[in-house]
Amino acid sequence: MSFYKAPFWRRFEIMGDWSEAAVIAHCKNSEYKYAPFGFNRPDISMRKLPLLLRHTPDFIVEGFIKETQVFVEAKGVGRDNLIKIKQEDLEVLTDWDKILPIYFSLYHSTKQKISFGISLKQMESICGISPSDLFPDNKKLYYKVSVKNFQWEPIIITLDKEPNDGE
């Protein structure tokens, strides 16, 4: 079963682990400084939080653009070669982009490749020309963004778990 078709509780168990590990590996390889920023499966009800807090970027990275600090949002892609970008994420990340620039890091687990440094504006443009759909469980709009829209480079990461079909 594809990762995005799995029940939310199953996705929640492993959500983001591989793509966030790829950001850390890329930052170390590139000698960027980084700090985790977003929530990582907290033991609280996320639905009760305001949207802005539910959609915090995953990292603050320094050194990617000179000495400027930026937010980095990590996303994964699996065997279907699509990155699923929720419209709600784009809307909320626009607010975060007013604080620090937002960049995306994409990790392709089946190919062990990363595409790092896609700006929010670039991602919005790519989403604007990509097909869209609704997630079956929550009916939220998302864009089916093809991996062909990005440049990829190899990266090696390790975790205690096996990669899954969506991260």
* Residue 10 confidence (pLDDT) above 60: no
Residues 33-61: what's their mean pLDDT?
A: 90
Extract the tokens encoding 78: 């699996």
Percent of the chain with pLDDT over 70: 86
d(CA 105, CA 91): 18
Which residue is associated with the tokens 């929720």? Answer: 86
Q: What kind and span of H or E run contains 29?
A: helix 17-30
* Residue 86 DSSP label: E
Q: What is the pLDDT of residues 145-157, one digit of tens each?
A: 999 999 999 999 8
SS3 60: strand
Please state the pTM of the whole predicted model: 0.86
Extract the tokens encoding 140: 């939220």
Extract the tokens encoding 153: 């480079």
In this structure, CATH architecture of domain 3-154: 3-Layer(aba) Sandwich (3.40)
pLDDT of residue 167: 41
Q: What is the pLDDT of residues 100-137, one digit of tens each?
A: 999 999 999 889 999 999 999 999 999 999 999 999 88
Closest listed residue to residue 130, CA positions, set 102, 150, 158 = 150
d(CA 67, CA 79): 36
DSSP result, 43-84? SS-GGGS-HHHHT--SEEEEEEETTEEEEEEEEEE-TT-EEE
